[in-house]
Amino acid sequence: QRAQSPFGNVAAVCVWPRFVALARRLLPPTIAVAAVANFPGGAMDVERAVADVRQIVTAGGNEVDVVLPYSALMHGGPQAAQACAAFLAEVRAACGALTLKVIIESGVLQTEILITQATNLALDAGADFVKTSTGKTPVSATPQAAAVMLKTIAASGKAAVGFKASGGIRTVSDAQTYLELVTDVWGPAAI
């Protein structure tokens, strides 16, 4: 009911994989059902992530929000980056035509180098959106991380890839900061 307001419907309702069928049944077809995979910890467990995705696909979901194995990326060196790329490739394949949002957990990655690397891994895997965070860590979305992500997406030349700021954005004023960043980096048409 809260997804449908006099001001318009939300774009999607995000649920755990086990609730996708119920959400799809209760929501009008104009509201997408998104579900999380490898959430919230972002373990390097591709079998679990792919199982989550298959459950989402089978239940009629429209979107998958997968958590990049950010801890492995932070601590594992070049081999970890390759493992993350392989992880995301398998998740992308399991998604089929569903929208894939890759959550990089930018508040934990913190450095521009790691945020850029995680964003590029998501882009290279065919993500439709790169998302800041799960909202389950002490630091979620920040304007600084968002700027790095937006610039990295712009530099990739993949104009169809979206950006999603998530975690800790509670007010219109909070959201305005991110809208202004998108306008500054991608231009007003991107909004």
- Minimal CA–CA distance to 104: which of 89, 122, 125? 122
Please tell me the total number of residues recorded for the chain in this structure: 191
Q: How far apart are CA 45 and CA 52, in angstroms?
A: 11
Percent helix, strand, coil in the chain, to 5, is 50, 15, 35
> How large is the C-alpha radius of gyration of the chain?
16
> The tokens of 40 are what?
């919230």
174's CB contacts (< 8 A; 6+ apart) are 168
Catalytic residue IDs: 65, 131, 164
> The tokens of 118 are what?
């995680």
